[in-house]
Amino acid sequence: MIDEVSDTLGWNRKHTIKALNGKVSMGSKAKKRGSKPSYGEEEVKIIVMIWKRSEQPCGVRLKQTLPLWLESYQAHHGKITPCVAQKVLGYSPRTLERITAPHRVSGSGRRGRKTGRTSNRIKQFVPIRCGPQAFDEPGWMEADTVSHGGGSSSGWFLWSLTLTDFHSGWTEVSALWGNSGGEVRGGLERIEKRLPFAMLGFDCDNGSEFLNEVMEDYLLRKKRNIQWTRSRAYKKNDQAHVEQKNFTHVRQLLGYGRFGDLTLKQQVEDLYAKAWLPLRNYFTPVMKLVKKQRHGSKISRFYDSPATPCDRLLVCAKVSEEAKAKLRATRRGLDPMELAADVERRLGEIFEIVERIEEERAEMLAWAEEKDEIGKNGGACPQGVSASVAIAPCAYTPCGHAGKLAKVANKEEKTINRRVS
């Protein structure tokens, strides 16, 4: 009977046996196996809201982020019961990954190379630093610049100067108009005024924006002891810390478009200083690589517990109590929800200007193409009316016909006399 049913209906024998015994699965209506989820809609709503506002961290970092943001969430979205708060704070990093997984958006990044002229004289006394570094105090900074030229280096456009601390992960970014030595020095001065600690070391790449006399005068001719080092040429992994921050703190925020309006410099600078960097330095936990172990072709990486750059400074024994008191007072006066909303508001204003510039640029390109089309038609307008063109006076010998200046596909073949022996 089993064989007849299988042959008639085209079923597998095992499926036929289950069907005859009444144990066939109900498909989408079947009950899901395993334990039921311990979180409800209210917990998911709170976790996803904080996760999105805190720049979508991983489960391990989100576990440390929730206690920092929960009080601010209640101030903006109403009180939650102690039972719900206990559940939200009690979930494991893996559970938080499962909760946020349906809301994640996959994206693609871009990689580029920054090149430029260098000064051989400055290279002779600025030593090369490479390999893993371990510092037990803040102040040792990696520096790099990010271009906002939209894939083109022509003309003037916005740049970002990024500095990150080895020990704490504290990151500062400043907006520059161009990447000249004077602009980099001005951005570095603004960053130093905001740093909660003194700068002890300055590590940069071999770009001409860093290795110049303006930066030499600023870093070495002041009454302070700053160790100036540089990375190896074309070895980006020598500056792995700041290269990572270039993506998380600049590219993920502003993207890869062109910022070619001078009015954007102050707006982007205010975005960095007043909203974005306080959110990242005070309320966004980060992880540090502790060690790596190689097992054949596989490398295992071990990280410490996630903590904000502010918390890492507060537990550092070499940071003064006065600096720690200022950090605590500054964090008490900040609200992560308000900072996240301020970031979105400022970004909206910035991209309105960027979109307007792109629209004007598209109109200019369309006008230029229309003008070229009129020139190809012998000065005739699209409506068939010849346009009157005034010949401008010139002080040079008139050149030949325009048709001879343009490159054509079919070139004139010249007769070449060859001598055959």
Residue 382 has pLDDT above 70, yes or no: no
Q: Specify the pairing of strand 158-165 against strand 171-177.
A: antiparallel
Q: Which of 224, 216, 217, 178 is nearest to 198 (CA)?
A: 224
Q: What is the mean pLDDT of residues 366-370?
A: 84
Task: Report the top-level CATH class of 120-357.
Answer: alpha beta
When pLDDT is averaged across residues 202-228 and rounded to a whole number, the result is 88
pLDDT the model gives residue 10: 84
Instruction: Evaluate if residue 106 carries a pLDDT over 90.
Output: no
Is residue 228 helix, strand or coil?
strand
Burial 289-315 (b: 16+ CB within 10 A, else e): eeeeeeeeeeeeeeeeebbbbbbbbbe
Percent of the chain with pLDDT over 70: 83
Window from 76-90, 231-245, 272-286, 388-402 with minimum mean pLDDT: 388-402
- 10-63 pLDDT, tens digit each: 888 888 888 888 777 656 555 666 778 888 999 999 999 999 999 899 999 999
* Beta-bridge partner residues of 164: 142, 171
* pLDDT for residue 20: 84
Those residues with Cβ within 8 angstroms of residue 272's Cβ, 6 or more apart along the chain or in another chain: 160, 173, 174, 175
Mean of per-residue pLDDT scores for the chain:
84
- Dump pLDDT digits (tens) for 386-408: 444 333 333 333 444 444 434 44
| Residue 193 contacts residue 187 (beta carbons within 8 Å) | no
The letter for the amino acid at 157 is: F
pLDDT at residue 302 tops 70: yes
Instruction: Give the model's pLDDT for residue 25.
Output: 65
With cut-offs at 50, 70 and 90, classify the pLDDT of residue 122.
Answer: confident
Query: Mean pLDDT across the stretch 283-295?
Result: 91
Measuring CA to CA, which residue among 123, 49, 43 is closest to residue 86? Answer: 43
Residue 30 is predicted with a pLDDT of 59
For the chain, the structural domain boundaries read 41-103, 120-357
Per-residue confidence (pLDDT) for residue 231, from 0 to 100: 92
pLDDT in tens, 166-213: 999 999 999 999 999 999 999 999 999 999 999 999 999 999 899 998
Q: Please give the average per-residue pLDDT across 327-338, as a whole number.
A: 96
The amino acid at residue 321 is: E
Q: What is the pTM of this model?
A: 0.74
